[in-house]
Structure 1
């Protein structure tokens, strides 16, 4: 039980509490023992009034419209960019430290963009001017956790990424649409499949298009990975180019990553350095050529890495295959770890 009466423990709110990330936040607050003096839940009017159990206590979901944050110390926002744009700054103005899991403030100069295993030290300066800490994109988080050690040891000239992103990136509605479409396609191959969250329909398909199209021809999802990686790693000229693809997988994103370093890379040293990273599992450490998949990776709170290959024709270049639970590592877990860092150091 993490509910306590200690006045030093924070009062917590979760905006978007009934979604996939919100549900996972509730579970992690309990399983990781995040001490608190109460958790209030908020969502849209459609979900308001529902009862959700938090740490064994029944909690009624409140309507986010008109939600009062004056008695909240720490607020998690995971209800979508438009909701954060409307409510996160008012919540911060009312005194809550906001941890935002959307694209709304990631590139705001007054808002730190944080992956605790990489750049938590940016929080040591104290409460951000915006009152908000941004959670990065779900594909950026596992990538930068690996890039940092490469940059520190060999330097990086270029990174080329292809992502294979699960339906859960569109929340519970995305998962439901994939399942419905898959069942319908199996029963009637000529049926018109649901395509609300994914266009064209995702069932038995791959869609190389996520988020809106930009004038550059890249999508917003692809641009996020470039600009967020630069900000998190403190490398404003880092060369990252990406193709983001939605695939018919329920949960966990995968990435094929080509990295060209500035110096030749020794594979054994690379494997050792990756395996030494916190909460990273290297699958071919003992069996070269081993690899994780979304179904078989294992520990959901680890970044899983395999297919580590240094190119014979270019010893500065190598490939990685990585898999990470996008709802946990790519969203809820990273947010909770930010909160843990802030609370452990008395920075709230």
Structure 2
């Protein structure tokens, strides 16, 4: 489903014969499998992909485990702040602060969010979002009950791209600004978006732009679209990350902003090309091969870029080099 608040099971059939005398033991799941990552300052926060566990990792790679008072089997996301982090998913919102036990502040499902300082905007279904702060009651924000296509931060406010289904083949899109005080400004319907209508759109850049199928359109003060910029290739995933715009594309000659292949490439595995762009000029800064389509990505105070792709990894300084893995489970087990 497009909105990951809901889970759908699909059944398929297969005929499999197993020799139970010739089956190796199933590998033991690591005690921590990173599912999302976010950094604030020199502290890295990562949440397990299915267990209610959050790990904070400092600049010395000392890891601390934080156990959420929530169920297992829930996919959650993490948003780091200067004083801790917010964790949210279909089971609600949690607050983690160094030196204190994590607590659940809301049981309302959350399917998208962003932070400004310590303030967390939690986008929930039903037409009401919530602004959470560590030391105050949450503020309810009444919004249209529409799908959150993308969300980003612009200065001291949140910019959200909403999408409403008009028919099976058509949908309407518009931008909305939410301030940290809960004030809402809704822009006009974006009727002249370039590219295929069913292509997913993304907000990223500084100044903030709307990315769609290889183009980046400026956002005007009235939340309409201005001039278009042609990237020269067609990423299928774009995300705002610090002073960069992160793009993910197929590593073909038509889609590679930095046209070189990684060293020691395994021909049996199909990698994707992650490219960091300068947020202001949209010029390519660095590329890296990754085994992920829509990786979680963040950057810490030292400028190190971290991603979730085959585990938690950091991008090397040189372009087109394989990322460096960080074993969070081993750090948690280290005395």
TM-score bin (small chain): under 0.3
TM-score calculated relative to the size of structure 1: 0.27
Q: Which has the higher relative contact order, 1 or 2, with Cα contacts under 8 A spaced 6 or more apart? A: 1
- Name the structure with the higher helix share: 1
- Name the structure with the higher strand share: 2
TM-score calculated relative to the size of structure 2: 0.27
